[in-house]
């Protein structure tokens, strides 16, 4: 058979969300691309067309209705979160025992043996940031000639040396000695050469890093490709991770930019450099865009990471245009390295998969596979044979972990940027609603959301029919703010079932808009069609006093503005209800939080005609409108002027009687013939 071409591009460290076991690695909440997009809204139009936004919610990268690629999310079977672990598993080798790490530095017997072999003592021998340790010990290194040895949370033995003290070949020879020494129980995944240059006080690392990896202990798909006569051309450090196994030709690169330019040249039939031996006519082109990890990720450089993604995005049209009929492109990653967290180490995450072209018959869903699926698929595409080393062929469309719906989108406003990708959408809301039907029973006639410190008079609860902690309901978010009890209680009131939602969640707690809206959408899916949402608020109008309850006619969404950046005005309590409540209706401002308003901000709100302000309930109001629910909004004045959360809770508690009276009026208006 005529051999085709396959391109595998690994975006080093570009994870897409914490794995279930991430907390055991200290990585709970890590989400490299997702968190990055919430710090710097990304602009990646070509990645969007390919389907990157279909995999997970990325602010600025919407899901594509008809993506050019099959979007997927891959999970490892290996332990660890090292580059070696990730790359090896992509090529079919699962690591079942973790590589050794050295949080307290290397044992003295290791250091002494290494010093004896290189004929000089070392500096450091501790975990450290590479840039920090050369700043700390670089001057002493230049004076003494001693190499700087350090490690990190990963399984690495790193040797830093100034190029004027140890020329590259000398540094590389030290690394080979360390690699020969570090076997068995001290068999670290990689020995890394870290040359640097510059004067004291202004040291910078050079681009001549080199990795000396442990020999893979079992066969790789790269070995199988070599046996089948399939050539592999590797760009950058990636060949070193596999100790050149199966690689016919390696071309060194100095940066992501050089790497991307070479990919385009090679796909277009031009050689890499001056050598015709580096042409890419068939087989596998394997590369790693290491700057995401080495230059930006480990340094928590969110701006640099975002610029790097934009550079790849800009190169994608040229890469796609250079593909021939029958060629395939896979983009993935090896682990996470979330630059938004305090940690500067790798993070235990899922990795993305973008497989081009999208296979015929692929469902409109995300492929949930394993790392080894990449190697299995490449082997199948280039040899025509079934996988030998594990993994599933992606084009079989039978992912081991099944299929998952595309990233849902909610409409936060009518502006050009009003479509927001979220973690939870209609599918999860329906699932939570179905759970309520099974476990709680008949849907409530009405639901009441009670904000910070708010509760109703005990007499409202004639009969408690069910009590369910939020954590028991699938997908239901649990907040962490004091005064939110996180409990759903169903009561009978004058013959009607009323669901009391004690507490809400907020986006400032690390949730997204879809998660904040899920309770409203879930009770709607349950069958509840009427909603009262209450909010403990600060007084903006100077005539208001604590414990006053204000029926709200309009809710201004200050978090998701409309066209021109103006706050969107959402309908709250309708005129008929306002008349029954004896009020003309106030204007409430819903802000992002979590801080309370400054005097200057209160002045602006007064200029907008606002009466009350809080960190809710615009998200719930939008969801209620989307679901076609009847709605009432009640703002409880908990404080006036500068305040603390404790004062808000105390003020909320004093309003219980009046709040109960108004809710009784609302429910009576909704069910005039059924409530006595």
pLDDT in tens, 145-175: 999 999 998 899 999 999 999 999 999 999 9
Say what percent of the chain tops pLDDT 70: 95
> Is 228 in the same domain as 204?
no
d(CA 335, CA 345): 11
pLDDT confidence band for 256 (50 / 70 / 90):
very high
213, 232, 257 - which closes a domain? 213
pLDDT in tens, 29-51: 999 999 999 999 899 999 999 99
> Is 430 in the same domain as 401?
no
Give the tokens for residue 617. Answer: 């309930």
How many Cα atoms occupy the beta-carbon half-sphere of 295 within 13 Å? Answer: 18
d(CA 306, CA 79): 28
Of 95, 76, 235, 238, the closest CA to residue 155 belongs to 95
pLDDT in tens, 64-74: 999 999 999 99
d(CA 660, CA 666): 10
The reply to whether 101 falls in a domain is no
Asked if residue 649 has pLDDT above 60, the reply is no
156, 179, 213 - which closes a domain? 213
Give the tokens for residue 595. Answer: 């801080």
> Is 34 in the same domain as 114?
no
d(CA 564, CA 572): 23
The reply to whether 53 falls in a domain is yes
The reply to whether 544 falls in a domain is yes
Exposed, middle or buried by CB within 10 Å (0-12, 13-18, 19+), for 325? exposed
Q: What range does the domain containing 309 cover?
A: 5-87+223-405
Give the tokens for residue 132. Answer: 């920090």
The reply to whether 411 falls in a domain is no
CB–CB of 560/475 below 8 Å? no
CATH of residue 152's domain is 3.30.70.1250
pLDDT in tens, 482-540: 656 799 999 999 889 999 999 999 998 889 999 999 999 999 999 999 999 999 999 99
> Is 237 in the same domain as 200?
no
Helices (H), 125-273: 130-144, 168-181, 221-227, 238-241, 256-267
pLDDT confidence band for 642 (50 / 70 / 90):
low
> Is 467 in the same domain as 611?
yes
Residues in CB range of 623: below 8 A, 6 or more apart: 517, 520, 521, 524
> Is 59 in the same domain as 187?
no
The reply to whether 93 falls in a domain is no
Looking at residue 564, its pLDDT comes to 78
The three-state (H, E, C) secondary structure of 464-486, written as one string: EEEEEEHHHCCCCCCCCCCCCCC
The reply to whether 676 falls in a domain is no
pLDDT in tens, 381-404: 999 999 989 999 999 999 999 999
CATH of residue 470's domain is 3.40.50.1580
Looking at residue 675, its pLDDT comes to 47
User: Number of structural domains, the chain?
Assistant: 3
CATH of residue 323's domain is 3.40.720.10
Looking at residue 411, its pLDDT comes to 84
Looking at residue 461, its pLDDT comes to 78
> Is 260 in the same domain as 196?
no
pLDDT confidence band for 673 (50 / 70 / 90):
confident
> Is 433 in the same domain as 342?
no
> Is 52 in the same domain as 180?
no
> Is 196 in the same domain as 319?
no
Mean of per-residue pLDDT scores for the chain: 93
Asked if residue 551 has pLDDT above 90, the reply is yes
Give the tokens for residue 637. Answer: 């004045």
Looking at residue 606, its pLDDT comes to 93
d(CA 40, CA 59): 8
Average pLDDT over residues 421-427: 95
d(CA 599, CA 621): 27
Exposed, middle or buried by CB within 10 Å (0-12, 13-18, 19+), for 269? exposed
pLDDT in tens, 450-479: 987 888 988 887 799 999 999 999 999 986
The reply to whether 95 falls in a domain is no
CA dihedral 415, 419, 424, 425 (to 10 degrees): 100
The reply to whether 324 falls in a domain is yes
pLDDT in tens, 176-232: 999 999 999 999 999 999 999 999 999 999 989 999 999 999 999 999 999 999 999
pLDDT in tens, 110-135: 999 999 999 999 999 999 989 999 99
> Is 381 in the same domain as 290?
yes
> Is 159 in the same domain as 255?
no
213, 247, 271 - which closes a domain? 213
H or E element at residue 604: helix 599-607
pLDDT confidence band for 276 (50 / 70 / 90):
low
Return the minimum-mean-pLDDT range out of 285-289, 492-496, 624-628.
492-496
pLDDT higher at 642 or 5: 5
């Amino acid at each position: 058979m005529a051999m085709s071409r396959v391109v595998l591009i690994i975006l080093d460290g570009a994870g897409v969300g914490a794995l279930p076991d991430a907390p055991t690695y200290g990585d709970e909440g890590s989400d490299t691309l997702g968190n990055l997009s919430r710090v710097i809204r990304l602009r990646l139009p070509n990645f969007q067309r390919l389907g990157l936004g279909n995999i997970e919610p990325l602010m600025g990268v919407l899901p594509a209705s008809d993506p050019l690629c099959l979007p997927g999310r891959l999970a490892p079977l290996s332990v660890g979160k090292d580059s070696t672990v990730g790359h090896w598993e992509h090529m079919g080798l699962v690591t079942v025992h973790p590589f050794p790490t050295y949080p307290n530095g290397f044992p003295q017997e290791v250091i002494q043996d290494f010093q004896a072999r290189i004929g000089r003592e070392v500096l450091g021998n501790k975990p450290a940031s590479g840039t920090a340790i050369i700043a700390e010990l670089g001057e002493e290194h230049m004076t003494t000639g001693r190499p700087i040895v350090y490690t990190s949370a990963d399984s690495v033995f790193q040797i830093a040396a100034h190029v004027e003290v140890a020329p590259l070949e000398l540094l590389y020879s030290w690394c080979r000695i360390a690699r020969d020494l570090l076997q068995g129980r001290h068999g670290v995944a990689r020995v890394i050469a870290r040359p640097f240059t510059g004067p004291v006080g202004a040291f910078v690392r050079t681009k001549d890093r080199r990795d000396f990896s442990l020999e893979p202990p079992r066969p790789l798909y790269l070995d199988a490709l070599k046996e089948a006569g399939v050539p592999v051309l590797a760009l950058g450090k990636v060949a070193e991770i596999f100790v050149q196994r199966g690689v016919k030709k390696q071309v060194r690169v100095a940066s992501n930019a050089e790497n991307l330019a070479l990919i385009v040249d090679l796909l277009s039939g031009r050689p890499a450099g001056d050598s015709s031996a580096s042409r890419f006519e068939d087989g596998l082109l394997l590369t790693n865009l290491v700057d995401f990890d080495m230059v930006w990720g480990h340094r928590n450089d969110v701006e640099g990471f975002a610029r790097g993604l934009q550079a790849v995005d800009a190169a994608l049209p040229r890469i796609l245009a250079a593909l021939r009929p029958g060629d395939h492109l896979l983009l993935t990653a090896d682990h996470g390295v979330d630059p938004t967290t305090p940690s500067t180490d790798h993070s235990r995450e899922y990795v993305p998969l973008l497989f081009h072209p999208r296979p015929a018959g692929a469902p409109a869903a995300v492929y949930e596979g394993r790392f080894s699926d990449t190697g299995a698929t490449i082997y199948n595409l280039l040899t025509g044979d079934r996988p030998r080393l594990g993994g599933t062929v992606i084009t079989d469309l039978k992912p081991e972990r099944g299929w998952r719906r595309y990233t849902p989108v909610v409409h936060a406003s009518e502006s050009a940027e009003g479509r927001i990708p979220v973690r939870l959408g209609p599918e999860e809301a329906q699932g939570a609603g179905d759970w309520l039907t099974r476990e709680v029973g008949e849907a409530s006639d009405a639901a009441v959301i009670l904000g910070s410190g708010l509760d109703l008079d005990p007499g409202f609860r004639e009969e408690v029919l069910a009590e369910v902690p939020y954590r028991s309901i699938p997908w239901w978010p649990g907040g962490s703010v004091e005064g939110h009890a996180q409990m759903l209680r169903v009561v009978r009131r004058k013959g009607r079932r009323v669901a009391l939602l004690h507490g809400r969640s907020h986006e400032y707690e690390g949730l997204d808009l879809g998660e904040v809206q899920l309770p409203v959408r879930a009770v709607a899916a349950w069958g509840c069609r009427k909603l009262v949402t209450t909010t403990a608020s600060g007084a903006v109008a100077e005539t208001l006093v604590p414990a006053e309850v204000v029926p709200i006619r309009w809710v201004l969404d200050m978090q998701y503005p409309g066209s021109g950046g103006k706050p969107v005005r959402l309908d709250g309590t309708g005129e008929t209800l306002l008349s029954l409540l004896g009020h003309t209706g106030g204007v409430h401002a819903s802000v992002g939080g979590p801080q309370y308003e400054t005097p200057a901000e209160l002045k602006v709100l007064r200029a907008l005609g606002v009466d009350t302000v809080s960190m809710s309930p615009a998200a719930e109001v939008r969801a209620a409108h989307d679901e076609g629910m009847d709605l009432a909004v009640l703002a409880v004045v908990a404080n006036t002027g500068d305040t603390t959360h404790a004062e808000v809770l105390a003020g909320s508690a004093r309003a219980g009687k009046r709040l109960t009276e108004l809710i009784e009026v609302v429910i009576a208006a909704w069910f005039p013939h059924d409530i006595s």
